[in-house]
Amino acid sequence: MILQENATLQQKLAILSDAAKYDVACTSSGVARKAEAGSIGNTEAAGICHTFSGDGRCISLLKILYTNECVFDCKYCVNRCSNDVPRASFTPEEICTLTMEFYRRNYIEGLFLSSGILHSPNETMEQICKALRDLRIIHRFNGYIHCKAIPGADPALIEMAGWYADRMSINLELPTEEGLKRLAPNKTRKTILTPMRQIQNGMAESREYLGMKGGNYGAYHFTQERKQKRLVMRGAKDTFGTHAISRGVASASGAHTVSRGVKGVPGTNADNGGYKISHSGSGDSVITGTDLMRQGKTTSGLQLWNSCDTKRGFVPAGQSTQMIIGASGETDYEIMAVSEALYRRFDLKRVFYSAFINVNKDSTLPALDSQPPLRREHRLYQADFLLRYYGFEANELLSPSHPNFNTYLDPKCDWALGHLELFPVEIESADYDTLLRVPGIGVKSAGRIIRARRTGRVDFDSLKAMGVVLKRAIYFITCHGRMFQDFLKVEEDYITRSLLADNTDVMRGFGERVTYRQLSLFDDFPNGGLV
């Protein structure tokens, strides 16, 4: 371990910003909070973009570690205790200084703060909480803050961070417990899932009394809610239970709803926090039970309602997690099943997938000369969107007999080719959920089709204007009973050949040698950027 004693603030920043580059679990803030009198910063200016992407979006987030010293020895991590790398630690005051100075210079719009484990989880989390509190209370920073929760830290410290941060995340690291034991022996699934559950329950409780300030729901929740409404309206059985979880959904036999109780798990009707399910002819949900606020505390254990000088609620932008892809032997099917369970049982806003980059010499890891599985990461993100926005389930996309995604076709096309009995779909009569399953039709274009049908006929020219990707969609749709071309056939081999012919350069570049690099906080050019 190479400790940088008496390092300057700029030297610390160079070390700790570089050490944070492998953490991808940060994206758009998911919370809207404008500037206020007496405060500095907001979560809306400049779009708050936190992803390193190739489409022109910029990173306006200061992404740093509190420390890269760590007592853990995770085999995949560059900051593992057995690595001889330069080490440094900020103080809470230095984090505040950096954040405010960078913000005043319009370099950033928010802060992403993670950390190694310095001495113990509690000591590390305590210093992080002090930095967040000073930013919010002393410096009146009103911008976006994404904070990593330290597994194994005291629940009181997790809660305190939740009142000051906009988003929190706990990295699941690896999809299976076996992989975690093998590659991260100092971590357990329990120490990761316990704070995740605490944050979920805290968000639900804060949402109950502070409205959407308490961890707004993720896209997966609303997609499942829409599916439940449609099932109830059709008189079908709820796939997750016997009741719908939507607001006042009526069925033929009268309304039945499950209240959004503090302990309730979105997507299920199990464990409703002590509340009763009420049936009424009007479809309104009637909640009966104990007035939790009158008791002075809540069933999820939130104790700091009045102790933290904040009006933003508990983790208002929700929580996320990250999984490393390619470090262990899990299949895509196992990974997507875990992601679906996290969305369903822990109300996560996002699951991030990080292609494994081998930075350590260890016999349990893939060879150093192996390239990061970027194409696989890309397919997992595509499938993740299908779960969250399109109503797909993991066992629809993959199965034990077909455990990995197609290399050359996106998951939606691959699914459609395996279910050609459902196609072609008639654009003039298909419902919203059916349209979403057509390759080339997205969430926005499906909505536009539904609205356009109310006022006139929809043809292929208008579909293109609505944003439908016709080069994929034409094999799966008809307009007024006719396909785009009479010679088109709904046949697997024909469609597959046509799709691949239209995408001869598909995924080109994913097979090239790449190196990960985070944007430098300093000048990259010797002449100060002049060329």
Number of domains in the chain: 3
Instruction: Find, among 125, 344, 326, 308, the residue nearest to 217 by Cα.
Output: 344
The domain in which residue 497 lies consists of 406-502
- The residue with tokens 């758009």 is 28
Same domain, 103 and 239: no
Please list the alpha-helical segments (H only) found in 111-218: 121-133, 155-164, 177-183, 189-210
Contact call for residues 446 and 435 (beta carbons, < 8 A): yes
| Each residue's pLDDT tens digit, 46-71 | 333 454 333 444 557 888 999 999 99
Same domain, 202 and 237: no
* Residue 151 maps to a domain: yes
Residue 134's pLDDT is what? 96
* Residue 366 maps to a domain: no
Same domain, 150 and 289: no
Between the ranges 148-162, 280-294, 509-523, where is the mean pLDDT highest? 148-162
| Each residue's pLDDT tens digit, 480-517 | 999 998 878 888 999 999 998 866 554 454 444 444 44
Does residue 1 or residue 280 have the better pLDDT? 1
Whole-prediction pTM: 0.78
The H or E element containing residue 256 is: strand 254-257
- Cα angle: 265, vertex 266, 267; to 5 degrees: 110
* Residue 350 maps to a domain: no
Instruction: Find, among 529, 523, 526, 528, the residue nearest to 10 by Cα.
Output: 523
For residue 400, pLDDT over 90 is answered with yes
Contact call for residues 3 and 71 (beta carbons, < 8 A): no
Residue 355's pLDDT is what? 92
Same domain, 128 and 271: no
Residue 235's pLDDT is what? 65
* Residue 314 maps to a domain: no
Same domain, 203 and 223: no
For residue 86, pLDDT over 60 is answered with yes
Same domain, 96 and 75: yes
Residue 2's pLDDT is what? 66
> Of 137-141, 185-189, 287-291, which gets the smallest average pLDDT?
287-291
Cβ neighbourhood burial of 38 (10 Å; 0-12, 13-18, 19+): exposed
Same domain, 200 and 51: yes
Same domain, 280 and 420: no
pLDDT-derived band at 272, boundaries 50, 70, 90:
very low
pLDDT-derived band at 25, boundaries 50, 70, 90:
low
| Each residue's pLDDT tens digit, 107-139 | 888 899 999 999 999 999 999 999 999 999 999
